[in-house]
Amino acid sequence: MIDLAAARIVVTGGAGFLGQAVTRVLRARGVPAERIVVPRRREFDLTVEADVARLYESARPDVLIHLAAEVGGIGANMAHPGRFFYANMAMGLHLVEYARRHGIRKFVHTGTVCAYPKFCPVPFREDDLWNGYPEETNAPYGVAKKAIFVMLDGYRREYGLASAVAVPVNLYGPGDNFDPASSHVIPALIRKCEEARLADAPEVICWGTGAATREFLYVDDAAEGIVRAAEVMEEPLPINLGGGREIAIRDLIGMIAAACGYRGRITWDPSKPDGQPRRGLDISRAKSLLGWHPGQEFEAGLKATVDWWRAHGSA
């Protein structure tokens, strides 16, 4: 087990939604602020090899936690499949290679539930990751992130690079991305319901049929799981991090409308895709290897997210 409090840690994406939560957990573990390095894109474009080399030279990390990603909801994935594949593949490729060159103590990679096969049996088990092709709308992103699992396995076997791989389900919580062009389902629906409530609109139109299911994990719970993996794992065995509750999107929008106080109609647009039919994770590996389990009750987490948007959003 590595003592993170004594390590110098780079957190890519550390200024983002999940990254801020991870840095909070690291501080709670006793890591001094000056030992946590958060590279910003204006200084280091992690898709560019020379910038990654410069990051390692300047930061000299013992541990690198890779959270940075170019990602979004179904619409963003459909609009930018090429960019999402290239950016996520390039970041992982360069960061792992330079971790090897610099002999760092550990590389922690955050994967994605989008890596699972489209028709994976529920609950998703890590051993099923390679038993089919991902859902088409997010396959470029999911495959790029999953390819780094293989790279880390190869680098562990050939070079002895210690690493960990966490695979979180859809995240949510205060501070999430509410941009309509790139947000995931919970912030997107919160914003729709809040804007409809404020405008006294008679209906909210949602993509798909509402039949698809998703599982959600509060961002602070995800951060705890990722830091725990950094502490105890030495090899890139994928570890699911899930919230423990599968929810149909039609039920989710009802919960969000209630949390927002919106009483208008919910209308579905079946010409738009549902995405993966079902998502729900088996988290027994996280419980056994990390001693981790989700702590946030979903309705309370949803209310906290709505309250945050009302206080900080532009709706």
Low-confidence ranges of the chain (pLDDT < 70): 314-315
Q: Are 150 and 217 in contact (CB under 8 A)?
A: no
| CB-based contacts of 253, cutoff 8 Å, min separation 6 | 189, 193, 204, 206, 210, 266
Tokens 């110098």 belong to which residue? 8
Unique residue bearing structure tokens 């995405």: 275
Give the model's pLDDT for residue 315: 45
Which pLDDT score, from 0 to 100, does residue 314 have?
56
3-state secondary structure of 169: coil
Q: What pLDDT is stored for residue 182 in this prediction?
A: 82
**Model pTM above 0.75:** yes
Residue range 4-173+216-246+278-296 forms a domain whose CATH class is alpha beta
DSSP E strand boundaries for 188-291: 203-207, 213-218, 238-241, 246-248, 265-269
3-state secondary structure 28-70: HCCCCHHHEECCCCCCCCCCCHHHHHHHHHHHCCCEEEECCCC
pLDDT recorded at residue 188: 93
Domain spans in the chain, listed from the N-terminal domain onward: 4-173+216-246+278-296
C-alpha 238/C-alpha 59 separation (Å) is 27
Neighbour tally for 35: CB within 10 Å: 19
Return the residue matching tokens 């030992």: 35
State the catalytic residues.
Answer: 141
Report the greatest alpha carbon distance in the chain.
61
